[in-house]
Amino acid sequence: MTIAQILMHFGWWALVAIPAFLIVLTLIVFVHELGHFMMGRAFGVKIESFSIGFGRAILGFHDRHGTHWKIGWLPLGGYVKFWGDAGVSSNPDHEVIDAATPEERAQSFHHKALYQKALIAVAGPLANFVLAIAIFAVISMTLGEPLVTPQIGRVLPKSPAEAAGLRIGDRVLRIDGRKIREFSDIFEAVSLSGDRMLSFEVVRDGRILAINVTPKQLDRPDGLGNTVRDSMVGIAPIIPSEIGDVVAGSPAAKAGIKVGDYLYKIGDEPMENFNAAARALLAASGKPVKIQFLREGAKEPIAALLTPQVVNGATTSGDDTVTATLGLVPKHRGSPKIETLVRFGPLEATVRAGKRVWFFVAKTFSFLGQLLTGRGDYRQLSGPIGIAQVSGQILDQMGPGALILLLAVLSVSIGLLNLFPIPMLDGGHLLYYGIEAVRGRPLGEKAQELGFQIGLVLVVGLMLIATVNDLLKFAHS
């Protein structure tokens, strides 16, 4: 990388990536700390400060309860400081709490019942999960979600799917007994499998077949110019062809097909493009054929019986054939749309959002399991630099609205990370409370301090590995 390229990179970062990253991080931290704050207030805990960022306050005010709300000069986290805390990690200041008056004890976090302290600790990560579910649900209700039928439209050469015998047109019913309702279910099942063999149950020519497929860990593009490693079998969904125009008076017009619909099937054969449709129509020789098409907002394909017009003379392309026989004109794009968007009601949208959050949680544990068993790639870990880079790419290529999706995904990640049983994190506090519940008394001060030191080493070590990975990726970009 030349000096000019480095300057261009950092200039782009300064203008796009860093502000986008800080906006996303600040919102996630605010919601996380708000969870602790609200649960603490519910149990009558006195809260001295609510800080977004660390260090000296550059902006702040005191509310009527005496809490100092502030923004620190280093915007890389945040904290809620309860009365009696020795620091931002909620370690008890024994000199203060041991000398507390009855009135102060009533408002002290460290004098609350064990279950109350546990609920206050878990409220932060829980708020992150609620934020993600709310974002995903609102998107499902307003913009809609893609629904792609779980039918194979493409099998990549030399892929696990080809080796196992999966074919174009196979409709996947179940994977390892789990019912498959849409193509994203296939992606999730394969992604969570690692390299474990999966049992696919598919429908082919009216028969149900059981086919075993072993995924492989392969690199795939993430749509932003980066590559990520994931488990894949090498299949893709049917790619319907979008209709750009309908000829007036044509068979398609009489059948009610509209601009913006997607040609899906002719007969029982999936149509990956207009060339495939042309072959099927010419084979019909003017006889009625069953056409299935997709329409935005419809959860199932719409069927119609059409009689193609006889073509007089040769056509120059598959597109021309479909236009001449049915009256459909394809709408060409650089990347074809492969689904229809469906808007869901509040209940169904919330359920789908919850399932999506659970997938991210399960995917994280799957990745950690692969790392512990030596089958994972630690280079996939990313820290603030990597997140900032992705934030900038999303803002630059997809617009500000797409950052909301990144906000939801990172909110899940940060909420889950904070639940890990590592002292310093919320999960570490929960671990201490669990030990106290079993022993009947808390760990000694020295044992807790040693735990926090070990936790600090683990967190810093993880951040160093992630940062080195980010720098290496940045240097090769």
Sign of CA dihedral 11, 15, 17, 19: positive
Which helix (H) or strand (E) segment holds residue 121: the answer is helix 114-142
Which burial class, exposed, middle or buried, applies to 66 when counting CB atoms under 10 A from its CB (0-12, 13-18, 19+)? Answer: exposed
Architecture of the domain spanning 241-330:
Roll (2.30)
CATH number for the domain running over 145-237:
2.30.42.10
Amino acid symbol at 71: I
Q: Which residues are designated catalytic?
A: 33
Instruction: Give the SS3 label for residue 174.
Output: strand
- Nearest 5°: the CA angle 42, 44, 50 is 80
How many residues can be counted in the chain? 477
Answer whether 91's CB lies under 8 Å from 399's CB.
no
Those residues with Cβ within 8 angstroms of residue 373's Cβ, 6 or more apart along the chain or in another chain: none
CA dist 403 and 174 (Å) reads 34
Structure tokens at 426: 């919320």
Which helix (H) or strand (E) segment holds residue 265: the answer is strand 262-266
Segments making up each domain of the chain, as ranges:
12-143+402-475, 145-237, 241-330
Which ranges of 230-317 does DSSP label H, i.e. alpha helix? 251-254, 274-284
Q: Cα–chain-centroid distance for residue 9?
A: 27
Same fold, 145-237 and 241-330: yes
Amino acid symbol at 140: S
Answer whether 340's CB lies under 8 Å from 262's CB.
yes
Answer whether 369's CB lies under 8 Å from 175's CB.
no
What tens-digit pLDDT sequence spans the chain (477 residues)?
444 454 455 555 556 667 777 888 889 999 999 999 999 999 999 999 999 988 888 889 999 999 999 998 888 788 899 988 877 777 777 788 888 888 888 998 988 999 999 999 999 999 999 999 999 999 899 888 877 778 887 788 888 999 999 987 788 999 999 999 888 899 899 988 877 899 999 998 889 999 999 998 876 655 545 566 778 898 888 766 778 888 888 888 888 888 888 777 887 776 666 766 777 777 777 788 888 887 777 777 888 888 888 776 555 566 777 888 888 887 754 334 444 577 889 999 999 999 999 988 888 887 777 767 766 665 666 655 555 555 555 555 556 667 788 888 889 988 998 898 888 889 988 998 999 899 888 887 788 778 777 877 877 777 776 666 555 655 555
Rg of the chain's alpha carbons, rounded to an integer?
Answer: 28
